[in-house]
Structure 1
């Protein structure tokens, strides 16, 4: 005759025949086992095999030397511990919220403290809802404009540096070899290479290819890209091209054009032909366009 442990093990694997199933249903602990197994299903991780783990637990219980009532108590305690572990696992794997934009896409996010973030094309933002009351930290890759609600310290963490603020409006752009912060309201502290720089409204902090670039005061109330336009003032042409590619989801090749030459101008995000003229005519550059491939050429 099969013992209780073997019956439970086979039941967990859906391997009982009709006769064994009837014997299993007559077990004194049948109802409790069914409830326990159903409860554990709510806590299991996506790839977690509950049946195997419960079977392992069963093998650790020396049921042959204990009375049934004594056997079930340690089983319940171990199962409860497993349930807590599964719950903690599920909780810790769902802490971070990630927002991502693709080429030619923008979006606006409201953070847990009612701060608003506008995310530019090909950017991502990560934050933690559960720890927000203790740490108002966001991780940014790309470009975003922040309207921060009043409260405790707010940090924007990028690969290039960290921006710390107290109730303010500012723009952060972190791209390859490019890091820029512009303060529009309040006070911003930018930490770069362990050194902090304070920015007041209109002040900018710009690093290109590891070099600090001085900029004039910016008296706009918001960044131009929020109005579907990218504006550049004395910036390398390669930065203009990179932004154009993000806004229109195209690949651009330069022929006989110095990518480091400085460009002042702008282009709109809603008409590619008009935008192409805006970035080529000032430099006397011609262009040819085939689907998503564009060639800019200087004769």
Structure 2
């Protein structure tokens, strides 16, 4: 029998053995002792895989399919044995990665113009503003109340261990309180509505906020004395308010609420805006902001709005 035909038969035997179509004693009669020991090592790796929580059945099936498909291969026996070992390592890596990360991380997102209220495992509550995302490790929640945020969210935190919100611009740490966090591009804002929060910026500076106090950092420039008299963020009532915020961030919020895109090539997007806009009506929102900034607008398509000076 040629090496090629032996290799093909071995592939077939391995596939049948993994599928429990032939027994160990039968396999030992069909392959060499060296091959049989290599197959047993592979089987032990797969057994470990099957015992892990939240197994990835698709990955396992894919492995067996690839092994069976090797019947048409013409590679040398040495390379074949090496490939079997690599396959075993790969399946274990896929499983561990999936189990330890993908299966334990919960993500919640919102689309254009959407809000979403999420109840956390400890009874805390998160309300996501439009085009925002949070993620947290569910299985580690009791030991580590930590959330990763992109966008804007309002938090009602139950008392307990430290609760941390992490963003690319900084983090917020509390024990039990209510606060709002906004982290978009180079804009970072935190407002405390109840209790006390600690803000840590990306360059490790810390700020303590009490009720009605806020912190804002835009393009690296902090504004430490930001006062807020409302009992909760206005966006929870379908309105977004600003105090001396560059226009480009206001326009980005409008884009997130109404799924539009602004052409700002002819206007000063760094001009400061103070005011608010409604989330209910696009036309009213545009007129409220743009009239205050003395700008005209032209809707070229349903999603493309060109701005110009009056």
TM bucket by the smaller chain?
0.7 to 0.9
Aligned-pair distance for 1:261?
1.2
Matches within 5 A, 1:81-92: 90-92=98-100
CA distance in 2, matches of 1:157, 1:145: 13
Report the counterpart of residue 289 of structure 2 in structure 1. 279
Quick check: 1:259 aligned with 2:264? no
Q: Assess if the C-alpha contact under 8 Å between 2:134 and 2:148 holds in 1.
A: yes
Q: Please, which of 154, 162, 167 is the counterpart of residue 158 of structure 1?
A: 167
Shift of the alpha carbon at 1:103? 2.0
Cross-structure match for 1:244? 254
Cα drift, residue 106 of structure 1:
1.7
1:170 to 169, 179, 188: 179
Aligned length: 260
Deviations 1:18-71 (A, max 9, x none): xxx7xx58x799xxxxxx99994984453234538999xxxxxxxxxxxxxxxx
Q: 1:214 to 1:44 in 2, by over 3 A?
A: closer
Find the aligned partners of 2:192 and 2:249 in 1 and give their Cα distance.
Answer: 20
Residues 274 and 10 (structure 1 numbering): CA distance in 2 closer, same or farther, change over 3 Å? closer
Query: Post-superposition shift, 1:242?
Result: 1.1
Aligned to 2:304: 293
Residue 205 of structure 1 and its aligned partner are, at CA, apart by 0.6
In structure 2, relative to structure 1, the CA distance for the partners of 1:188 and 1:40 (3 Å cut) is closer
SS at the partner of 1:97? Answer: strand
Which of the numbers 42, 58, 74 marks the counterpart of 1:46?
A: 58
User: Could you say which residue in structure 2 is the equivalent of 1:67?
Assistant: none
Question: Structure 2 length as normaliser, TM-score?
Answer: 0.73
Are the equivalent residues in 1 in contact too, given 2:178–2:193 (CA < 8 A)?
Answer: yes
Other-structure match for 2:125: 116
Q: Of 8, 16, 19, which residue of structure 2 is paired with 1:11?
A: 16
Q: Give distance in 2, aligned partners of 1:7 and 1:285.
A: 73
Deviations 1:234-289 (A, max 9, x none): 11111111111111110112254221111111111111011111011222222111
The verdict on how the C-alpha distance between 1:133 and 1:284 changes in structure 2, with shifts beyond 3 A counting, is: same
* Residues 150 and 54 of structure 1, relative CA distance in 2, 3 Å threshold: farther
Equivalent in the alignment of 2:81 = none
Q: Tell me the residue number matched to 2:105.
A: 96
Partner of 1:70: none
User: Does 1:217 pair with 2:227?
Assistant: yes
Distance 2:15 2:188 in 1: 61
Contact 2:299–2:306 under 8 Å retained in 1? yes
TM-score by length of 1: 0.76
**Aligned equivalents of 2:299 and 2:94: distance in 1?**
55
| Distance in structure 2 (CA, Å) of the matches to 1:90 and 1:211 | 40
Q: Which residue is 1:64 aligned to?
A: none
Aligned positions of 1:177-192 closer than 5 A = 177-192=186-201
Q: Please tell me the root mean square deviation across aligned C-alpha atoms, in Å.
A: 3.5
Look up the match of 1:62: none
Gaps of 5+ in 1: 30-35, 56-82
Conserved? CA contact 1:45–1:89, under 8 Å: no
Distance in 1 (CA, whole Å) between partners of 2:115 and 2:58 is: 32
